[in-house]
Each structure stands twice: as C-alpha cells, then as structure tokens.
C-alpha cells in the first residue's frame, strides 16, 4: 500500500508529488508516456503560482535569476495593454519558462519518482483506499493507495472512471492557429521588434485586434517567433493537416498585408504547428469522489487567454497536497473549483472583447473606461493573478 498514487507526470502531477513529498507523504507517479514529452506547450506561468514556486526554492532555477520575483510592470487583458505600475499592490507575476523545463525541474525534486510507461487502466475505490489497475512495461499489475490523484490531463481517465461529469461548452466557429516561424527581418522595426503593418507597428507579446480577427507574435528564449491568429466564423476543413502556409494566409487576412515568414529549420524543434476549431470550456462537476481527486487539466479545460492554466493547476496541486498531508480533503472542492469558474468567466470575457464587429467596439470602449477607474485595473489584475 502506498500513500498516494498520482496519475500523470505533467506539471500538475509533478508539482503535487513534489509537495506531498515535502510534507512527508510518499507519492508514486504513474505516467503513460515512455519518457518526458518533447511537445512544446506553455511558455510561462502567470499569477500567484510564481511566488508559490519561489517560496519552495524553485524560482531561481526556473528563471535563471537571483533574488525573488518582482511584480510584472505590464500585462494584457482582452487585447488591452495594462500598465500595472499604477497599482500600489500589483499581484501579477510572470515567469517565462518553457513547460518542458518546469517539468524537468519538478521531476528532479527529492521524493518524486516517476514510473514512465505505466498507464492507469482501472480504478476501484473502497472506504479505506483505492485499488489502481496499471499496464506497465512488464505487464499488468494493481497498486493499493490511500488516495488517488488524477492529474492526467483534459481527457482524464481517472475523472471518467470515478464517474465525475465534465459539463461546459465547446465554442465552435473560432479558428485559432499557431506556429513557430522565422519572420523576415524587414517585417520588424529595428527598435522594439514591432511588426510592421497597417495601423501598426504592433508590439510583441500582446493580442492585437483588427476588424478581421486577432493576432499575436512573441519570441521566447531566443528561438523563432511564435505567431498566433484567431478568426471568427471561418470555414476550415479539419481533415487537412495544418501547415505554415495556412498561418501565413490567416495572418495576411487579419493584419491586412502579407508577411513572408517561413517554418524554422527542423533541427531546433519540435516546434508548435497547431490549428484548433473548437474552444473547450469545462469544469469537473466535483473535484473529489471519496478518495479519488482531480487537479489541473483533468479538473478544468479552458480556452485560456493570457496563460492562466498552469497557474490554476499548480495552485490546485499544492492546495490538494496540503490537505492530503493533513488527512482531510473534504474542503478541496469548495476551495479550488471557484478558481476554475473564475478563469473560465474571465477567458469568456476576454474572448468576447476580442471578437470583431461594431457591437464589440462599443463594449470595448466601456471596458476601457472601466480599466481607467481606480477599482477597474485592480480587479482585472487580481483576476489575472488568480488564486
Ligand atoms: C500549445 C499550448 C500552449 C500552452 N500555453 C500555455 C501557457 O503559455 N501558459 C499556461 O498557463 N498554459 C498553457 N497551456 C496549457 C498547459 O500546457 C496545460 O494547462 C498543462 O499542460 C496542464 O498540465 P496537467 O499536468 O494538468 O496535464 P498534462 O500536461 O496534460 O499532463 C497529463 C499527463 O497525464 C498522462 N496520462 C494521461 N492519461 C494517463 C493514464 N491513464 N495513465 C497514466 N498517465 C496518463 C499524460 O500522458 C500526460 O503526461 C498551453 C497548452 C498548449 C497545448
């Protein structure tokens, strides 16, 4: 019998295991993949998880900087740049770190042991604990534990096996495209690296709304630029594989002029090349079914804008680990589910503010006036910081 089985060695499962071990509980992490994933995902953490990581001695290694994190002077919301220096108690922290590096750092922690290539195939809860069926490299076996924590992502097997619903909506009709690309030098201004185009030049790291859609571009860690577009009511054949040329056409439509970028050389990859035609917004109907608990994307998937998901998931993980260590998880659902609901609401608000059309222009004018009130900026900053 082990204390806790954590399913999934993504950032949330690893954070949960690290925290459990720090608090004197023995976790075992089961991960279906044979080795750490190389798929590029998040480029950073935004919110209260950053000081949380600092408090656990992880900030310096992740940021490569000495000293503690400082509040971010600027951020964005719904396509509006925010000057957070106006706030006396700015709660927004940003830690640019690739998800792969975060995972590697967490996996290195004392007390975190990951069994790679071990897929959870069955969950049988009882009063005293949970029996987990596993398919491993040497065959099938079972494992008894006091608590089972499902950190197994959006399609969570644990959530389904525990009979926990996943209500919400899929917003269809908004096509999002992202790819790493090499922007031609002439397309950027010499100072500030702004993208030239009608109505520009446009600053990196922000969402820019035009009458035809939204685009952003940013460069993380000195690699190629990551370009993203959003287009509303666009017809797409999802059976056709995404290509860089498709993003080029999309950016030309949204920006109003073509930008002749190319795919980066494959040697430095893997790189992002994604199209999504359905924006899922779902929160688990409960975070706990007896001794089976959920955290991270297993508990919530949100078409997040501004990078709220790692913050939400990492804070789920430390909250849950603390409760397991104290032997009372009864308050976990009530403590954490409202945070996911808030992220869902703020992402829906931002998506509504970014949509094209004259009705949205009017709503944006009102929202901008709100941002200029003393309370407006503080509230938006608190939403971004999450909890
Ligand atoms: C392109 C992209 C960019 C993103 N950018 C950002 C960003 O900038 N900021 C941000 O905050 N978020 C971002 N996100 C979201 C972020 O990556 C996710 O929220 C994060 O990965 C969630 O972590 P997790 O540990 O909950 O789940 P996951 O990372 O999905 O990990 C789940 C793990 O469980 C394993 N697993 C699944 N089923 C089983 C099973 N039956 N048995 C054993 N193991 C199993 C999987 O193999 C996987 O390794 C981005 C996502 C994508 C796709």
Question: Which segments in the chain show pLDDT lower than 50?
Answer: none
Protein residue with least CA distance to atom 14, ligand 1:
42
Q: Residue 112: which domain range?
A: 2-166+284-385
Among 246, 261, 279, the domain boundary falls at 279
Percentage of the chain exceeding pLDDT 90: 90
11: CA distance to ligand 1 center in Å? Answer: 7
Among 249, 279, 309, the domain boundary falls at 279
Does 300 lie in the same domain as 216? no
Among 279, 303, 318, the domain boundary falls at 279
Under a CB-based contact definition with an 8 Å cutoff, are residues 166 and 297 in contact? no
Per residue in 4-24, pLDDT (tens digit) is 999 999 999 999 999 999 999
Using alpha carbons only, what angle is made at residue 186 by residues 183 and 192, rounded to the nearest 5 degrees?
A: 80
**Residue-level pLDDT at 52:** 98
**Residue-level pLDDT at 278:** 87
Does 177 lie in the same domain as 111? no
Q: What residues does ligand 1 touch, defined as CB less than 6 Å away?
A: 7-13, 30-33, 41-44, 99, 119-120, 151-153, 157, 272, 274, 296-297, 307, 309-311, 313
**Residue-level pLDDT at 186:** 93
Does 266 lie in the same domain as 130? no
Point out which residues pair with 95 in neighbouring strands: 45
- Looking at every residue in the chain, the average pLDDT score rounds to 95
**Atom of ligand 1 at shortest distance to CA of 295?**
26
Alpha-carbon dihedral angle through residues 286, 49, 80, 351, given to the nearest 10 degrees: -20
Does 217 lie in the same domain as 155? no
Total number of domains in the chain: 2
Rounded CA-CA distance 328/311 in Å is 23
Protein residue with least CA distance to atom 31, ligand 1:
10
185: CA distance to ligand 1 center in Å? Answer: 34
Protein residue with least CA distance to atom 53, ligand 1:
41
Does 57 lie in the same domain as 159? yes
> Beta-carbon neighbour count of residue 331 at 10 Å?
11
Task: Find the CATH number of the domain harbouring 77.
Answer: 3.50.50.60
Does 247 lie in the same domain as 231? yes
Does 256 lie in the same domain as 187? yes
Protein residue with least CA distance to atom 10, ligand 1:
307
Place of tokens 């408090």: 55
Does 328 lie in the same domain as 180? no
Task: Find the CATH number of the domain harbouring 238.
Answer: 3.30.70.2450
Place of tokens 């909890």: 387
Protein residue with least CA distance to atom 2, ligand 1:
41
Does 75 lie in the same domain as 204? no
301: CA distance to ligand 1 center in Å? Answer: 10
Does 206 lie in the same domain as 104? no
Does 180 lie in the same domain as 138? no
Does 136 lie in the same domain as 6? yes
Per residue in 70-86, pLDDT (tens digit) is 999 999 999 999 999 99
């Amino acid at each position: 019998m082990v204390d806790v089985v954590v399913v999934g060695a993504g950032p949330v499962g690893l954070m949960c295991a690290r925290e459990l071990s720090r608090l004197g509980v023995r976790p075992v992490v089961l991960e279906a993949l044979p080795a750490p994933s190389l798929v590029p995902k998040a480029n950073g953490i935004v919110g209260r998880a950053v000081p949380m990581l600092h408090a656990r001695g992880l900030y310096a290694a992740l940021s490569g900087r000495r000293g503690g994190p400082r509040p971010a002077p600027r951020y964005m919301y719904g396509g509006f740049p925010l000057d957070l220096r106006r706030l006396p108690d700015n709660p927004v922290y940003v830690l640019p770190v690739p998800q792969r590096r975060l995972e590697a750092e967490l996996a290195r922690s004392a007390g975190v042991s990951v069994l790679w290539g071990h897929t959870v195939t069955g969950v049988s809860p009882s009063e005293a604990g949970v029996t987990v069926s596993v398919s491993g490299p040497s065959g099938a076996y079972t494992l008894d534990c006091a608590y089972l924590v499902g950190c197994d992502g959006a399609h969570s097997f644990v959530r389904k096996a525990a009979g926990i619903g996943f209500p919400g909506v899929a917003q269809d009709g908004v096509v999002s495209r992202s790819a790493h690309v090499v922007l031609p030098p002439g397309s950027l201004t010499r100072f500030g690296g702004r993208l030239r185009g009608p109505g520009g030049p446009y600053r990196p790291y922000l969402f820019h709304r035009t009458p035809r859609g939204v685009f952003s571009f940013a460069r993380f860690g000195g690699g190629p630029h990551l370009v993203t577009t959003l287009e509303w009511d666009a017809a797409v054949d999802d059976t056709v594989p995404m290509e860089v040329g498709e993003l080029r056409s999309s950016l030309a439509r949204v920006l109003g002029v073509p930008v002749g970028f190319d795919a980066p050389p494959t040697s430095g990859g893997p790189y992002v090349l994604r199209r999504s035609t359905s924006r899922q917004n779902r929160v688990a109907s409960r975070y706990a079914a007896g001794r089976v608990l959920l955290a991270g994307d297993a508990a919530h998937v949100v078409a997040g804008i501004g990078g709220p998901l790692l913050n939400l998931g990492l804070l789920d993980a430390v909250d849950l680990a603390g409760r397991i260590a104290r032997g009372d998880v009864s308050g976990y659902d009530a403590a954490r589910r409202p945070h996911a609901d808030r992220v869902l609401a703020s992402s829906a608000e931002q998506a509504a503010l970014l949509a094209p059309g004259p009705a949205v222009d009017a709503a944006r004018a009102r929202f901008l006036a709100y941002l200029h009130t003393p309370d407006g900026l503080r509230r938006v900053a608190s939403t971004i910081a999450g909890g």
